[in-house]
Amino acid sequence: MEYIINISEDRTYIGVKLLGDFTSKEMMGCIVESRTLGNNEGIHNYLVDSTEARNVDSVTGQREFAYSDIKKIELAKATDIVACLVDPGDDSHNFVETVTNNAGLIFKLFTKIEDAIQFFEIRHK
């Protein structure tokens, strides 16, 4: 899996573009890098574009990711909001959305970038 991380032009979110299939364990490096950038810049919104990437992790792997892996390295904070852009025909991210939210984090899937950006605005009102 490859990824590209940047700051949006209006500096309201950290953008992450995923390229290729991935497992939750493979996502950790990307999360560390994007979260560090967000902390340094005071940005707590993350737009993850997964339209060219599929989550190929097992159900167990996704659950461990949400309940254990992220919390061990203290990456996810209650103030962080993650909007994940997915291909409309790709349901490989659905379970991680459920378990991540059940673990107390804010993570939502979208098929339109406009809806994802609006989600940030609504969450900060």
Summarize pLDDT for 82-107 with one digit per residue, the tens: 999 999 999 888 887 887 777 777 88
Q: How far apart are CA 19 and CA 75, in angstroms?
A: 22
Of the pLDDT bands very low, low, confident and very high (cuts 50, 70, 90), residue 55 is: confident
Q: What is the pLDDT of residue 69?
A: 66
| DSSP bridge partners of 22 | 55
> Which tokens go with 21?
């299939």
| pLDDT reading at 31 higher than 90 | no
- Is residue 79 pLDDT above 80, yes or no? no
C-alpha span between 13 and 69 (Å, rounded): 23
Distance CA 34, CA 103 (A): 20
| Residue given tokens 């959305």 in the structure block | 97
* Domains defined for the chain, CATH in brackets: 2-123 (3.30.750.24)
pTM for the full predicted model: 0.85
Q: Report DSSP state, residue 50.
A: -
